[in-house]
């Protein structure tokens, strides 16, 4: 499986709730930094995080918008995330994902609000006309 397919498989795992082959594409020394602060070091901690989330969260959509290769081992992934825990929520995000020996070794996630606005847009004008 190539790196892009591995990225897609990992994202899809959150929708199917099937992580049975996670160890085949995540390095045992993974460093996983979530967009809201937690960090998991090692496959054991990542498994604990996933098990915990399976009990309290349901991912409704984790859509990949773009996968941008930086080099052969580093990818920037732009995505949209929608889930429910106590309440429903969504946001846009980006992940920098690094590979070593065809396994994910490092993930750093970043988040931004999904709803955007243009505070300085002039009425009747858009990006294509002045």
What's this model's pTM, rounded to 2 decimal places?
0.88
Instruction: State the pLDDT at residue 125.
Output: 65
Residue 12 sits at φ, ψ, to 5 deg, of -65, -30
Please give the mean pLDDT across all residues of the chain. 94
pLDDT digits (tens, 9 = 90+) for 52-69: 999 999 999 999 999 999
* Cα dist from 104 to 25, 73, 79, 98, whole Å: 6, 9, 18, 6
Distance CA 73, CA 82 (A): 28
Closest CA to 94 of 71, 63, 115, 73: 63
Please enumerate in sequence order all residues whose Cβ is within 8 A of that of 84, keeping only pairs 6 or more positions apart, or say none: 57, 58, 60
Condensed to tens digits (0 to 9), the pLDDT of residues 104-129 reads: 999 999 998 888 888 888 876 666 55
The pLDDT tens digits for 24-63 are 999 999 999 998 899 999 999 999 999 999 999 999 999 9
Instruction: Show the CA angle centred on residue 77, arms to residues 73 and 82, nearest 5°.
Output: 145
């Amino acid at each position: 499986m190539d790196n892009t397919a591995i990225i897609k498989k990992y994202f899809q795992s959150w929708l199917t709730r099937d992580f049975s082959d996670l160890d085949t594409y995540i390095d045992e020394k993974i460093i996983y930094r979530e967009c809201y602060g937690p960090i998991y070091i090692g496959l054991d901690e990542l498994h604990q995080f996933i098990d915990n989330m399976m009990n309290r969260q349901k991912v409704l959509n984790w859509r990949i918008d773009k996968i941008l290769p930086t080099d052969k081992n580093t990818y920037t992934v732009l995505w949209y995330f929608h889930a429910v825990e106590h309440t429903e929520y969504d946001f846009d995000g980006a992940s920098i994902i690094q590979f070593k020996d065809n396994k994910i070794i490092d993930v750093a996630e970043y988040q931004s609000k999904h709803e955007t606005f243009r505070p300085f847009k002039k009425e009747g004008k858009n990006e294509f006309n002045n």
